[in-house]
Amino acid sequence: MIPVRVSRLAVLAPLAALAGCASVGHTNAFSARFADNQALPTEAVVARLPQPVAATRPDNASGAPLVLVTTHGGERRVIAWDVATGRERWSAAFDAMTRPEAIGDLVVFSARIGTGADSHDEVLALDLADGRVRWRETHEMGYVGAAREGDTIVLVNGVGAQGGARRVSHVRAVEPRGGAVIWEYEIQGVLGHPAIAGGQVFIPWDRQNIAVLDARTGMEQARLRSTDDIIDWVDARPEGVFYGSKAVYRLDARATSGTRAGSTYLAPLLPAAPGDPLIHPDGFVPSPGTRTARGRIRLHASLQPTPPGEAIALADDVVYYVYFRYVFAFSADGTARWVRILDEDVIGAEPSPAGLFTVGEKGALRLLDETTGNDRWSASLGAEVASATLDVAGFAPTGEPGAARDLKTSLTEVALDGDNRLVPARAFALQMLAADPDPAVTRELLDMYAQRGMPSSLREAIGTALRARRTGTEFLVGALQRHYDFLEGTEAPPLQVIVPSLVAAAERRSVDALVAQLMDHETPAAVLPTVVQAIVQLGDAGVVPALRAFLVLYHADSAFLAPPDAACTPATPNACAMQALGLAADGIFKLGGNEGREMLTRLAAEGRTHAPLAATVRGFFEGEQRAAEEAARAEATARERAAAEAAQEVEAALPIRLSQELVNAAFAEHTEALRACVAEELARNPRLAQVRVVFIMNNDGTGRDFTFAPNTPEFVACLTPKVAAVTFPRFRQIRQRGSFVISVRGGQPQTETPAEGASPGAEVLAADAPWWQRARVRAGVPLNAAVTTALPWWVRHAAPVTIVAPPAQPSQPTQPETPTSPAAPPAGGERRGGFRARAAAAQPAPAQPAPAQPAPAQPAPAQPAAGSTAAGSARAAASRGRSCPTTPPAQRPAQPAQPPAGAPPAPAPAPPAQPWWLPQQ
């Protein structure tokens, strides 16, 4: 930055400003050390801006709606045209190089002075009232633009905005009457068109920054830098200060974020519009005053005067898109309102609440009604226009615009306009038309597609639109009825765009017509694959004869022979034809049933069939076989997976460890086998009270490492194979230690009840409870159940056998229940009788009289059955898995009275109250 010259007025002002601004640390403008995006300075700048208001009157000093134009051809002039009076205010002969701008009471522009080698450019300031030159200056740099507020005019000149090694700009503030310089800077970089509001100058800088300078002093107040976007322009309007490129940002406190998300931001409008239209002209490149195509593609919109910080919104909910001589009006949500074709290109335009004011290149002035697009007002400048500046805010003539035209009709007219300069906009109109679901649009598109002379890009756009149509398919089906006819001049329908749409719409009504097209030799080979595919997709078995006829007729024809890897293009009709044959064969394969497959098999085997076709057909069968094998493999895999999952589920359902109840249940199955061993051991050891088995259980249900107590050899030898035969339920843990206790001695039935206050089912066991109680609990027998722990275990887990009472012994009438000699078991006696006989023989004589026994003649016939039933139920329950095979109280045999709960056990070797094998009462 090089401060070039500072006027007297500016000498003291910066010094004063320096004092005030010292807190933000800047002493100059455009300094590389100046901090950007600072909140406080920016808030101060925003605070100085005027309140946003809607523009209701022209900005020029006269307050009259005004159009400034430069003319084209002949003697070039600058004309000020008063819109209100419909007359030319003045006209001045200048070869304007830039578009004239009205700033206050001046019209400022750059003009070429002189001709030939002596010519040079000057910046001219004309009096708005009469066109006289107020002042003029020559500058070595090109004129960029000017802005004015009150008595301060800021002018920017520069070099290098459009590239080049030299990038220098000059900005200065001048007083309006004589052009005297108030302050000025020359910087290495490019500056854009300035804007002024609230006594502050906003200058876009290097397309990334905005320098905010005090209008009177030239001191930089704040600087904004965009990190998400480039900054092509800054504009100060009554609605606020805005900047941006394609998007629009509001200059407010949020602008210090430098980002889209953090700023008050309006996304680019109509992003799909062709021509990359701008919402604001590029501020770094001066708008030319000569005729050019630049600027003829533009967006025009007014913004609402919303307060700073609030979202940017379109005024009147309308944005105008001008493409040369087409004008489109859209709502803010992108909905098209109207389309207008003008008879001349639009050179300049300005939106207002009444509509869009346009200036045409032939001098036509129009106000297009916002609602209908019709002329609300029109006039003519009577001159060819090269450039135009409009200052017509608030101009609202009272003319009636007339009825709105049908949008579809307008769009169709644009699409068919015939101006091949404007094909992109015509395609744009076509897309808008195609977005309409009205079935009639499909017909319109078909008609357009059939038109000769349609540019290829537009035809392509129509084709794309037709392919995407899902309504009006009846017109597509109707189009299929058309066939080529040389005499009638009829062309084949555009199958390449019709058929995909019909297929997507599943339009089965088209099948017959498609078959007719298939059999018509005029149908281009390039679309045959599409047609055949559509027939197969939309048709059923009814299309097989046609496919078959097609396939058979051409399977050896040279027009259908192509290398197997040839791609189908319009230049390779044979490849397309061969592809069509393959697709027809595929259709027969899928829809033709066994007959079709047999036909294909024969066809593939024929010597004259084209080899690629034969290979294709064989491929169908091979592919099917592969698919079947694949499916079988997949099915087997699925089965295996399901089985594995089921096994995992079963495994997961197994208990981690076996509970004692399950162990007991497993042993219950073998009661009878164990009983023999216990009886023998009891014979050997009459004082045997308990047998304990400790072992290891494997999770496959087997047991090992059995140890027994007592462990007399005989007893161990007897028990080992029997215990080894016990099969336990499976469990998840690899192995676990288990034990099983046989309480040999019986006693009086003993009923225990839970302690008062205990919950039902809770087992209460005193710390000094006798072992049999603990055994009961361990076996899962409720303490309060009417069961005696003194009963032999096999009675409590009775085997499914019938207990038969031994025959009475006449020699011992007083002890009828005393067993007889073990050597003489009752004939036909059952095992239980045998046990009893052997046990009696081994039993020593009782030391005291035996207690009263039940009558021997009463073998308690109900017990075995009940025991059998109970055992069966227990086994069933055990096999179900988880319940302890306890005998229901109602099915249990009557038991002798148990000693009271907590009573000490009988002192060993106390003789048993009664032999364990006798039926209990």
Partner 1 sequence: MPRATVLIVLAFLAVPPATAIAQSRPGRPARPGRPGADAEPMAPAPTLADLAEIVPKLESTQGDEVREAIDLLTVIDRPEVVAPLSALLRAGQPDAITDRALEALGALGQAGAVDVLVEFTHHRREPARRRAYQALAAIQDPRIPRLLEQGLRDSDRNVRGAAALALGQIGARGSVDTLFIAFDRGVIEAAIAIGKLGDRAAVQKFSESVGRRPLSVMLSGFEQFVRRRDLPDEVKLEIVQRLGEVSGPLVKTFLREYLGTFSERDRSALKRAIEETIRRIPDGPAPAAAPAATAGGAL
Q: Which is nearer to partner 1, 332 or 552 (CB)?
A: 552
What count of residues does the chain have?
Answer: 921
Q: Which is nearer to partner 1, 607 or 813 (CB)?
A: 607
Q: Which is nearer to partner 1, 532 or 777 (CB)?
A: 532
Contact call for residues 565 and 573 (beta carbons, < 8 A):
no
Q: How far is the CB of 575 from partner 1 (least distance, A)?
A: 14
Sheet with 248-250, strands from edge to edge, namely 233-237, 240-244, 248-250, 265-266
Contact call for residues 706 and 715 (beta carbons, < 8 A):
no
Q: What Å distances lie between residue 446 and 363, 424, 454, 462, 489, CA to CA?
A: 38, 19, 12, 8, 17
Contact call for residues 78 and 107 (beta carbons, < 8 A):
yes
Q: Which is nearer to partner 1, 563 or 902 (CB)?
A: 563
Q: In whole angstroms, give the CA distance from residue 227 to residue 754.
A: 82
Q: How far is the CB of 509 from partner 1 (least distance, A)?
A: 23
Q: How far is the CB of 226 from partner 1 (least distance, A)?
A: 60
Q: How far is the CB of 484 from partner 1 (least distance, A)?
A: 6
Q: What Å distances lie between residue 295 and 22, 278, 659, 803, CA to CA?
A: 43, 8, 91, 117
What backbone phi and psi angles, to 5 degrees, belong to 547?
-60, -40
Binding stretches for partner 1 (CB under 8 A):
484-489, 519-522, 525, 549, 551-560, 577, 606-608
Q: How far is the CB of 597 from partner 1 (least distance, A)?
A: 18
Q: Which is nearer to partner 1, 147 or 577 (CB)?
A: 577
Q: How far is the CB of 628 from partner 1 (least distance, A)?
A: 30
Q: How far is the CB of 536 from partner 1 (least distance, A)?
A: 19
Residues 6 or more apart in contact with residue 400 via CB below 8 angstroms: 376
Q: Which is nearer to partner 1, 490 or 733 (CB)?
A: 490
Angle, CA 547 vertex, CA 546 and CA 548 arms, to 5°: 90
The helices-and-strands tally (H runs, E runs) of the chain is: 21, 33
Q: What Å distances lie between residue 786 and 601, 882, 914, CA to CA?
A: 83, 22, 20
Q: Which is nearer to partner 1, 609 or 751 (CB)?
A: 609
Q: How far is the CB of 574 from partner 1 (least distance, A)?
A: 10
Q: How far is the CB of 486 from partner 1 (least distance, A)?
A: 5
Write down the H helix ranges in 349-455: 407-415, 423-434, 439-450
Q: In angstroms, how far is the first alpha carbon of the chain from the final one?
A: 122
Q: How far is the CB of 551 from partner 1 (least distance, A)?
A: 8
SS3 at position 719: helix
Q: Which is nearer to partner 1, 600 or 874 (CB)?
A: 600
As a dihedral over the C-alpha atoms of residue 197, residue 199, residue 205, residue 207, rounded to 10 degrees, the angle is -20
AA letter at 450 = A
SS3 at position 551: helix
Q: Which is nearer to partner 1, 550 or 620 (CB)?
A: 550
Q: How far is the CB of 558 from partner 1 (least distance, A)?
A: 5
Count CA atoms within 13 Å of residue 222 on its CB side.
21
Q: Which is nearer to partner 1, 574 or 853 (CB)?
A: 574
Q: In whole angstroms, give the CA distance from residue 87 to residue 65.
A: 11
Q: In whole angstroms, give the CA distance from residue 839 to residue 834.
A: 8
Q: In whole angstroms, give the CA distance from residue 11 to residue 35.
A: 24
Quote the tokens at residue 142. 């090109």
Q: Which is nearer to partner 1, 606 or 700 (CB)?
A: 606
Angle, CA 24 vertex, CA 20 and CA 26 arms, to 5°: 85
Q: Which is nearer to partner 1, 204 or 587 (CB)?
A: 587
Quote the tokens at residue 720. 């080992």
Q: How far is the CB of 496 from partner 1 (least distance, A)?
A: 17
